Amino acid sequence: MRSTTLASLLLAASCTLPQVHAATPAAKAARAVAAPMPAGVWMPDQGDGTFINPILNGDYSDPDVVRVGDDFYLTASSFTNVPGLPVLHSKDLVNWTLIGHALAKNVPEAHHAVPRHGGGVWAPAIRHREGRFYIYYPDPDFGIFMVSATDPKGPWSAPVLVDDSKGAIDPAPFWDDDGQAWLVHAFAGSRAGFKNVVTLKKMSADGTRTLDAGRRIIDGDRLPKAATSQGPTPWFTTEGPKLYKRGGYYYVFVPSGSVKGGWQGVFRARHIEGPYEGRNVMDQGDTAINGPHQGAWVHTPAGEDWFVHFSDTDSYGRRVFLQPMHWGADGWPVIGARQGKEHYGEPVTRHRKPKVAAQPPATAPVASDEFDDGRHLGWQWMANPMADWVDGGVKGRLRLKAVSSPANLWEAGHLLTQKLPGMTFSVTTSIELKPGGQPGERAGLLVYGYDYAWIGLENTPAGQRLVQATRLDADLGVNKGKVQQSSETVLAAPLEVTGPVHVRLSFSPVEVAEPAPDVPHYWHSMLRSTHARVTFSYSLDGVAFRPFGSAFTTRPGRWVGTQVGLFAQAPGGTPSNTATRAGYAEFDYFRFGR
């Protein structure tokens, strides 16, 4: 009875876009953490006309959405993962299906033949014009690219370099009423040497190249402080621009304030080149949803307005949230639930679903895989793949070649991974290792980030052994000018394996306290990070599982959450006369559960 009453109160509170009042810092610090999600793969649709955020629990960073008729399409950053630029489809902005990828390989292909952690595809924008879809995306080391297609499932065109400005990021195209094409973008300070700036450039009518050096239309360093629930706050790390037009105004939606400590800003002007005035339209307020920012304004056929954005959940990645959005009589939007009488909102957790013609069934991007006919669309490599990393002719199972690579898997491109589909879950697979003859070949079920761990099989001079391995600081980060030399800790089970073995990873979220930021005002969510405690187990019959090894606490990767996946590896530097006899591993299934 209590849970029903609580759900009713949540629904009543969120569906009416309530006013909320800012809490004192002490009250914020003492506020309880939100109730955990149910175990298993997360489903946002509650089946009663409401949804609970996030709408995508997977790591779909920097989302952008376009509506075409009654359909919605979403893309997101993919960084070093290949294929890149995931394309998802929805009929109601809540239930999403992965329908393909717009980028078969990262370019330049030779550069991305090895993992370029933190590089590759940054925040994209998706648009539709005259029967064609366009995605603009940046690689901060090479420029801004565009791909296009008539069918969002593909095929997509090869990438076209639209602009080669150093450090240009977060592009978004806009075609004005007169047909003139424009491009807005921001800058990465790590490449350009400056940031906190949004530039507007003219483009050719077909959107394939910029025509000028552009002009700065937003310069965060020169702006007066923004009113937020933490008091007046300077604009910094202003990026991720999206350009729209409504009611005679040009609007640029931009996040500011960095990822966890940021908010969503909006600027407007009567003329596309400015001058622009801006304000905060949503910040964290008194919620547990950090950021929240960077995403897309969506106007539905029913006349409703919604905002899709991400919130950083550390090891669980940048998950995607959906917020109601309302335009005021003054021509400014408010996103989420209005905070008291302020001109900005805060994110909601539960809300009624968008009004659409027909409610689709509850769904989420595919996760489990039986490999009955290849593998599903959710799998990605860590770098541009070689043709022989996987044997596509094998049906009913996944066969991965034992690729020769460095022992540190952080530097291996042949890892086949997925995003985490929930908060508390297990993932199980069956592994059979067919070594080519030399010791050191291995294969396993992997949890992967700056630290990684895996459970699986290794070929040794004494035969195959079940092992559990852990490597901390796998990224070899530089500390005080010296490279941290990480090493792998390996535990072998006291048994010889002669056939398939079933292995399992079990995830549960843990919160880790973080030091207070060195700034006068900050939101309470910055005092914690969320990671996963992972335990390992195995079974010889697929029924009775035994724990093995010590628990492992995850860390995210560079700009991405922790990933889970499979690999098969031969020792790095395997001599050429034996490399042709490298073995392989077969995985019979890959199943997520509670």
Joined together, the tokens standing for residue 553 give 């606490």
- Rounded to whole angstroms, the Cα distance separating 133 from 157 reads 10
Farthest CA pair distance, the chain: 77
Selected catalytic residue, list 170, 239, 346, 432: 239
Selected catalytic residue, list 62, 312, 369, 432: 62
Site of tokens 């009453």: 5
Core vs surface per residue 485-502: b (16+ CB within 10 A) or e: ebeeeeeebeeebeebbb
The verdict on whether 411 is a catalytic residue reads: no
Q: Is 372 exposed, middle or buried (0-12, 13-18, 19+ CB in 10 A)?
A: exposed
Q: Which long-range contacts (CB under 8 A, 24 or more apart) does 451-456 make?
A: 451/552, 451/553, 451/554, 451/555, 452/409, 452/410, 453/534, 453/536, 453/552, 454/409, 454/567, 455/503, 455/504, 455/505, 455/536, 455/538, 455/548, 455/549, 456/431, 456/503, 456/585
Rg of the Cα atoms in the chain: 24
Residue 229 and residue 262 in contact, taking contact as beta carbons nearer than 8 Å: no
- Rounded to whole angstroms, the Cα distance separating 537 from 348 reads 38
Residue 316 and residue 57 in contact, taking contact as beta carbons nearer than 8 Å: yes
The verdict on whether 62 is a catalytic residue reads: yes
If residue 15 lies in a helix (H) or strand (E), which one and from where to where?
helix 2-15
- Rounded to whole angstroms, the Cα distance separating 141 from 190 reads 10
Residues that are catalytic: 62, 239
